[in-house]
Amino acid sequence: MSAILALLAATSTEKLVQVLLVVVLAAIACVGAGAAVLLVRVVLPGVAGAADASLGRMGTRRLLLTGILPLVGAGLLARGVELAGSDVLGAVYFFLVLLPIALALLVGATAGVPHIGARVLRDGSSPAPLACAALGGLVIGLAMVSWAIPPVGLLVTVLLAGWLLGIGLGAFVRAPRAAAAAEEPERAAT
């Protein structure tokens, strides 16, 4: 609250400097988030490979549907847990619903964020992975500016989170089946 009062009391030049500072810091945070996603890709290449396969295998509509339905279900379940008012139920909800969704979002982001950056760059050559991840993080950060209009911001966030969650869930669901299918011909040959 004191920051808002200080901004209101500032002169127009001070306001401009403060707004520019916030924009620069937000851009740095978005680029840093993209670089952090790249770090997860490097540290966990198997997970990143499964997420890339999920992104390449499933269409956008299917990814959205696969991700948005669990998000809506988790939101409705959260409301039910809130109405129940039980701490134990809240802890169970956290461990059985929120934590897996957060992990699936992270897995989806390992493929989705660099994919967005690569799609923006589209220069014909293969761009550097860091450039793709940083630009993808910046594009997602710019998309979050839509929160200036709350209904639009909510829609953009749900669609983006649903897409990333769909990628992550596709990586978890399809990866074991694909691995089992790859082992099947090897067993038949022996």
pLDDT computed for residue 1 by the predictor: 58
More confident residue, 154 or 175: 154
CA–CA gap between residue 122 and residue 132 (Å, rounded): 10
pLDDT computed for residue 130 by the predictor: 86
pLDDT computed for residue 96 by the predictor: 94
pLDDT computed for residue 104 by the predictor: 92
Mean pLDDT score across all residues of the chain: 83
Domain assignment present for 190: no
pLDDT-derived band at 16, boundaries 50, 70, 90: confident
**pLDDT > 70: percent of the chain:** 84
Domain assignment present for 107: yes
CA–CA gap between residue 126 and residue 132 (Å, rounded): 10
Domain assignment present for 119: yes
Q: How many domains does the chain have?
A: 1
Reported as a single tens digit per residue, the pLDDT across 49-58 is: 888 888 888 8
Reported as a single tens digit per residue, the pLDDT across 71-117 is: 999 999 999 999 998 889 999 999 999 999 999 999 999 999 998 88
Alpha-carbon separation of residue 149 from 129, 145, 152, 155 (angstroms): 32, 9, 6, 10
Domain that holds residue 118: 11-175
| Radius of gyration of the chain measured on its C-alpha atoms | 20
C-beta separation of 94 from 109 below 8 A: no
